[in-house]
Structure formats: C-alpha cells, structure tokens
Amino acid sequence: MRSISSTRSRTRSRTHSKPRGRAAAHGLAVTLALAALAGCTTAAGAEVSATGTGDGKVTVPVRGGTAVIDTASLAVRAHPESGGELELSAPAATDLGRPGPVTEIRGGARWTYPAKKLTVTAVAERGRLRVSMAAGRDGEVRWPVTGTDASASDLQLPRGEGLNIPVRDAFWSAPERGLTGEPMDLGTGALTMPMWGYTYGRRGASYLVPTDIGTSLGFASDRGRLRGTATHTFDGAEDTRSYTVTFALTDGNPVAPAVDYRDWLSEHGRLGSLRDKIRANPADGKLLGAFHAYLWGDARTPQGMAELHKLGVSRMWLGYDAGTDPMSARAVGAAKKNGYLVGPYDSFANGQDPATADSPSSAWPGRVYPDYCVIDAKGKPETGFGNRGCYLSSQAFEQSEPAKHYLAERTRHMVANGADSYFLDVDAAGDLFRDHSPDHRMTKAEDRAHRLARMKRLQDGGLVLGSESAGAWANQVVAFNHGSATPVGNGLWALQRNKEVWGGYAPEKAPKTFFKPVDLPADLAREMYDPKYRIPLYETALHGSLVNVERWELSFGKLPQQKQDRAMLAMLYNVPLNYVLDGPTLKHDGPELAALQKYFAPLHEKAGTQRLTSFRWLTADRAVQRTVFGDGVLTVTANFGATASHDVPAGCVSAKLKGDRQPRLLCPKKVVR
C-alpha cells in the first residue's frame, strides 16, 4: 500500500505522547463525573469582587465550587465545595500589562489589557468557567499554565486513545519521549481532542479549548513535575484573534476530562450518533461487530472472500490500496454477499504530475496539478506526501466542484466495482493549511470547513465513510477512523523510516512495510502499549459516535510482542482490531482472526452504539481495569497482571452483556499465533 504508507510523513514529528493514572482512588467511576458535570445551566450574576473591593479578582460559580481569576496575572484558583483550594492555572507566561477596570456582565465579568489590546470575558457556563479573549491586533498569549498545584498527581492527555501520566514519572520527562519538546498543535492532529486534564488528589480539572486552531500545548518538567502550558497565536489573516478556554472541576477520575468534553460537544450540537448514521445509511450498521483488514494479493479475490466465510468470520471491513490492482467487481460482490463492507483507500489531498505520479490517487485530470497546489507564505507549493508533488487546496476544489465535478467523478470511478465504503485519507486528521494563492486563498478554519463539507457529501451519498485518525471535530461526518486508537510514540516514525527493520514496499503483493513483524524497542512499546498508562479518553468522548481503530500500518500482526495487550485493550475499549491480509497470512492468521472476531462481534453489536459510562482501575497497581457501556449493556474486566484477580485469570478479559448468566472469557495467549 505504497500510496497509503507514503502519506504518513507529513505529521509524524508533531505527534507526542503520555501515559498513566492515579494510585489510591482507583474505585471512582466516570459515572460520578457524569453526575457532576451533566445538566448544568448558565449561571447569572456571578460575583465580581473587583467592583466592591478593587482587588481585581473575579469570582465565578462552577459546578462543585467557585473559580477565582486574578485579573492582574490571569492566575485561576478553585475553591471546591468540599474545602481547600486548587491552582487551576498559574499566572500567564506572557506579560499582559496592567489590566483595565472590571465590568460586571451577566454571568461573569469583562476587563481589558490595554497594552496588549486584549478584551477578556469570564463567565459561568453550564457549570464551567469559560474565559474568552478577543485581540485587537496580532500577538500571542501563553496561558493557561496548568499542573502547577502541589497536589497534582497525574496528567490526562488525548494522544491517540488516551494516556494517563504521573506528573513525577521520569520516564515521561525524558527528552526521548518528546513530551517536553515541540508543542503539540491542538488544531492539526497532534492530539485527537482539544482538551487535557489533571488529577489533584481525589479531585481533578478539565481544560477544553474550543478555539483549537492557532493553539498549541507544550509541556515542561518543573522540578521533576510535568506542567502544561497552552499558547494561542492571535492572527488576523488566519482569523484566530479569538481564544476560549473552559475550566471544570471533576471528581478526579482519569477519564473525567473526556466526559466533560463529550458533554460540551453535546451541548453545542457537535456530537454525532452512530445510531443516527445507521438510520440514515443502514450499511453503516455493518461496522458493528466487524474487524478491519487491508487486503493484498490473493486475499482480495473471490477465493479470499470464500476463505473468510469458511472460517466463520461474520463481519469485516475490507480495504485495499489505490494502486493499479483494485478489488474486482466479483470479489466485491462476494464480500458483500458475506455481509462485509468493502472500500478503497483514496485521498483528495495530494497531487503529482500525471505523467510521473507514483499512485493513481495522486493523478488528477486537467490542470488540477499544479494549479490547485496549496501555496505557502513564500509563494512556493506545499510539498506533498513523501516529498512528492504538492498538497492540493480544498478551497480550489470547492470553487471548481460545481462545474468540474473532479471529486464526484473520482468517487464514482473508485466505487465502480460496487464498493460500499470509502476510506478518505487525511481529511479528518492531518495538517490544515493556510493557502496564499490569489486564486484560492483560505484559512485553516476554511480548510477544515471544506473537508467537513466534502466528507458529508460522501456520507450523504450512501458510502460508509472513514478517514485517518479522525479528530473529534470530524466525528459527525465519519462512521469510522483508522488511527485515533493508536497513541503514537515519539520514536515510531524514525523506526518506520528504517526499511531494514520495518520493511519496504516490496514485494508488490505483500509489501514488507505492512507484513514484516517488528519487535518494538522496549521504551517505545512502553510508551504506546503499557496498560498502566492507557486510558479510554477517546472512547469516553466518542464511543457511540464512530468506530475507532488503530493505524493501518500497525496491523495486529505487525507487532507480535504486543498482541496480548492489544487484544485485551481492544476488548476493554470495545473497538475492533485491524489486520493486513494476503493469501498466506489469511491461511496462517485466519483462525486467530476468526476466534477473536467471534468473541468481539456480539459485544460490539450490542454496545457499539452505546457511550462508555464508566472506567475504573480495580487494583492499586492498575493492572485490573473495568469499563461499562450504556446502562450496564456491557461490562468488561481486563486483567493485565500476573495473577488472577476479580474472578479474571491473569492475561484474560471477562465480558458480560446485560442478560448474560455467565461472563464470556477470552485469554488471548490461547488464541494468538
């Protein structure tokens, strides 16, 4: 899948990571956070102490207590109802100058920083403190500065599915992790959601950034403790002169920030529903219970479909690359007869000279290349996938589509074999662009809007749509994504570039880059797959909106040493495994795939449209973990430890659907090859 794998080089250096969670309060469930955060209404008449005392402090009621903002520094402190005080943000790391007078407004207060031409409003909104800034000129603010309270114990970060990192863990402060290096852009895929959180003893805080474009999040080790600082760039030409951050108090559960974010999405009409998608397009329902696989060689033939059926595989999503040998209409027909979904890989983001293009997906008619190339600030085309060709402007396509129909014609051509699904690379993830071309200027926000519009057209056209590492902003227009389940470690991209270790693009019908097994270095494996660091933030926010899967180049068989943990995490989070198959691997790995899919299918068919309502550590060492979906529709307990615990053998998963008399047990070591 050369065309697929070559797309990854553009965002790798921007992806960072993090891991772990609390030690003692492992019995708290996310259901408590739901109760704490749900159903809040906008508060009116917040106390503004500045109007009475002149001390420049603004007090705003929040769910579970009050928040106090010092207008002189933008430091934010919380006073929980249970007592005590928490520093939600240290003073801004930017010199804002002397603040202007504070004016009371409905629900909060407003003031200015004249030297920076900044106007700030702080209001109570649905139980949160919402702070918004409007800039009168270009500039930058470094705020909030988080994790500075002495009681901070753990950081929650949505790298891939989600990580919980003890703030004093030297492993994560080391430069090799990349966490304390280059800041992560909240708007362009470095994190799957524009939020983070901290645990403060038995309490916690959630930080959401609705204005994610133009905002980054960086971490530093301060006296051995990880603290995070957001930076927002006010840029009139980029339309980012507004900046908003919300603060919420939580119960300290590690997934509480994701509960807060899911609630925020729902409150603002931005939370999709897989049930609604299935109602609109019943084919989306075939994702429930399905594993995913990219097919090569003899696996993408009618005989390959017969083999999967013979193995007893009930549901699959089957993809294939955009090369010169797509699945035939006969093979697609055989797959659909089995109840499987079939979809091509495609991308609207890359263009090359059609005479020399190395992939059909990069060759476009007419003068799409080079006329549609994104132009950078220096007047040069943005170099495309794998340093070939250019990135294509979504603005240029949107302008020409009503007359030229380039995208519609491409799609019709790609599904002429009867495919009923579509994997559109980049659109729901990768870099957003500001285009300086006088023929198709656009901001990053406009780029995102164009991508959403064209993905919705594909969705409305009846295709089961998926994309790469879908950011939360795309959850309403895709039914599945490949990548957001993977917390990519800092050294992964360098490892993939080492073809001797990772494999290259030969042989054509089974490229080693996908098929060659690799043993991850110990630190990288720990970064990505150590269960004590993993938490289901993405599933807490978006389970029941879309189906989340690992990256395609990290198929289940690619990392043999991680098979047990990956299988257990998939069952715990109720997400599918992703395979890569050719003729020989179908024969060798087919029985394994069939056994795992047989276990997974009934669980996902019942719970795939439900929200994740509880995540708990059941033991102090975090080796035994439990999730609940819906109102007890599915309960899953995973024992990653070395001894039996909570009636689950070591290295096994126990799942119980509502109505089951006995739990269903899976011990991956007995199944995986």
Domains of the chain from N-terminus onward: 30-267 (2.70.98), 272-349+392-655 (3.20.20)
Could you tell me which of 255, 271, 217 has the C-alpha nearest to residue 37? 255
Residue identified by tokens 């056209």 is 461
**Residues with Cβ within 8 Å of residue 542, at least 6 apart in sequence:** 262, 271, 472, 475, 548
Residue % of the chain over a pLDDT of 70? 92
Q: If you write DSSP's letter for every residue of 381-440 in order, what string do you get?
A: BPB-GGGSSEEBPHHHHHHHHHHH-HHHHHHHHHTTT---EEEEESTTSS----B--TTS
pLDDT value of residue 40: 36
Average pLDDT, the chain: 93
User: Angle CA(181)–CA(558)–CA(466) in degrees, nearest 5?
Assistant: 75
User: Angle CA(287)–CA(290)–CA(294) in degrees, nearest 5?
Assistant: 100
Which tops the pLDDT comparison, 386 or 88? 88
pLDDT above 70 (res 9): no
pLDDT value of residue 23: 33
Q: Which H or E element spans position 100? A: none
- What average pLDDT does range 317-327 have in this prediction? 93
- What average pLDDT does range 631-654 have in this prediction? 99
Do residues 475 and 272 make contact, with C-beta atoms less than 8 angstroms apart?
A: yes
Q: Tens of pLDDT along 214-248?
A: 999 999 999 999 999 999 999 999 999 999 999 99
Residue identified by tokens 């492993």 is 171
Instruction: Give dist(CA 508, CA 321) in Å, integer.
Output: 11
Q: Tens of pLDDT along 135-155?
A: 999 999 999 999 999 999 999
Instruction: Give dist(CA 447, CA 427) in Å, integer.
Output: 10
Among 31-40, 398-407, 494-503, 610-619, the minimum mean pLDDT is found in: 31-40
Predicted TM-score of the model (pTM): 0.93
Phi-psi map region of 544: left, alpha, beta (phi>0 left; psi -120 to 50 alpha): left
Instruction: Give dist(CA 408, CA 422) in Å, integer.
Output: 13
pLDDT value of residue 501: 98
pLDDT above 60 (res 314): yes
Peptide bond into 144 cis (omega under 30): yes
Instruction: Give dist(CA 307, CA 321) in Å, integer.
Output: 21
Which tops the pLDDT comparison, 571 or 26? 571
Q: Tens of pLDDT along 35-82?
A: 334 333 333 344 444 322 358 999 999 999 999 999 999 999 999 999
Q: Which H or E element spans position 460? A: helix 444-460
pLDDT value of residue 673: 87
Residue 4 structure tokens:
């697929």
Q: Tens of pLDDT along 360-392?
A: 999 999 999 999 999 999 999 999 998 999 999
Residue 362 structure tokens:
């990069």
Q: Tens of pLDDT along 456-492?
A: 999 999 999 999 999 999 999 999 999 999 999 999 9
Integer Rg of the chain from CA: 25
pLDDT band with cut points at 50, 70 and 90 for residue 324: confident
Q: Tens of pLDDT along 617-637?
A: 999 999 999 999 999 999 999
